[in-house]
Amino acid sequence: MLKQEALQILRDPTFNIEEEILKLKKEKNVVLLAHYYQENEIQDIADFIGDSYALSKKAKETSADIILFAGVKFMAETAKILNPTKKVLVPDLNAGCSLESSCQPNEFKKFRELHPNHIAITYINCSAEIKALSDIICTSSNVLSILEKLPKDEKIIFAPDKFLGDYINKKTGRDMILWNGSCIIHERFSEQELIKLTIKHPKAHVIAHPECPESLLRHTNNIGSTSYLLNFVKQRQGEEFIILTESGIIHQMKKENPTARFYSVPYLEKDGLDCINCNNCHFMRLNTMEKIFLTLACEENEITIPEEIRLKAEKSLNKMLELAV
């Protein structure tokens, strides 16, 4: 379908976008993968919802002809690396990631050269080029499992999230050398506002993603990936939770625990702007139902990766899938 024709269809007031997306998915044998941080309506029409690790596995296992990844670009790249013969699409090619942009290939290559006796374990929130320069990819779901299988004296570089790396070092007693990167969503929660919430809701569980700084993590022992946090909530029906991660996960939490109460921690004020209640990843929220329809109808925004880079990146991803079992 031509882009102009698809745009004209969108303007029709009788057009049912959800029905049309589902129809196109069936006609074109498309699997729609969505991260927990997507808008609610996107999560509701996805074939699979999950964190980076779960969606990586689904991408590897799919029999679909087309993978449409409702997430950020590095996630769609991961799907393409693992499925080179499939067409992989993303609703918005501008959906980036602060962690990815903080770790550029030329600088990372120099960093590795400074530490020649170290292996590089790299968080999946990075570009295909960085994956190609890494030995093992990990996610917040599987990094501890991967490290358990490596010698205690293994010298390791960890990139790009310094807060996740610091959490892992403290958790395992390792001394990994950390790249100086961070997630703009998880680093800006206000510790002061968190403390206020814990006083106001003393029975609430504080649950946090390990991409948060230590100043926040010290207020809870309930730390883990988005899938871990979702399961934590599921097991405690009707209780209260203070959330230290991107607010999109609350949609699934409410489904799993409809009688629970959820409190999002406000942000710090930054650059003179009031950041209270702005704890959504603006990169993730670039994806919309309209963009998903246009991407499916026109088969645009295809992910392409040079084969030399893809093969090297595939090696580090497969190492993750091997060690994370």
pLDDT band at 254 (very low <50, low <70, confident <90, very high): very high
Given a cut of 80, is residue 85 above it in pLDDT?
yes
pLDDT in tens, 144-166: 999 999 999 999 999 999 999 99
The CATH number that applies at residue 203 is: 3.40.50.10800
**pLDDT recorded at residue 53:** 80
Give pTM, 2 decimals.
0.91
Question: What domain count does the chain have?
Answer: 3
Do residues 198 and 274 both lie within one domain? yes
pLDDT, average across residues 203-227? 96
Do residues 83 and 126 both lie within one domain? no
Burial of 170: CB neighbours in 10 Å, binned 0-12, 13-18, 19+? exposed
C-alpha closest to that of 289 among 95, 41, 94? 41
Residue type, 77: E
Do residues 148 and 166 both lie within one domain? yes
Compute the 3-state secondary structure of the chain and give helix, strand, coil in percent, each to the nearest 5. Answer: 45, 15, 40
Do residues 318 and 177 both lie within one domain? yes
For a pLDDT cut of 90, what percent of the chain falls above it? 84
Task: Look at the block and give the residue holding tokens 């097991």.
Answer: 235
CB atoms within 10 A of CB 155: 14
Do residues 202 and 256 both lie within one domain? yes
Greater confidence (243 vs 268) lies with 243
- Winning range, highest mean pLDDT, from 1-10, 55-64, 196-205, 275-284: 196-205
29: left (phi over 0), alpha (psi -120 to 50) or beta: left
Do residues 27 and 59 both lie within one domain? yes
Contact 29, 47 (CB under 8 A): no
Given a cut of 80, is residue 1 above it in pLDDT?
no
- The residue segments making up the domain with residue 236 are 191-280
pLDDT in tens, 132-142: 999 999 999 99
Do residues 135 and 200 both lie within one domain? no
**pLDDT recorded at residue 271:** 44
Do residues 8 and 34 both lie within one domain? yes
Do residues 175 and 122 both lie within one domain? yes
Do residues 103 and 160 both lie within one domain? yes
Do residues 290 and 260 both lie within one domain? no
Do residues 145 and 199 both lie within one domain? no
Residue 207: both structure tokens together: 């649950």
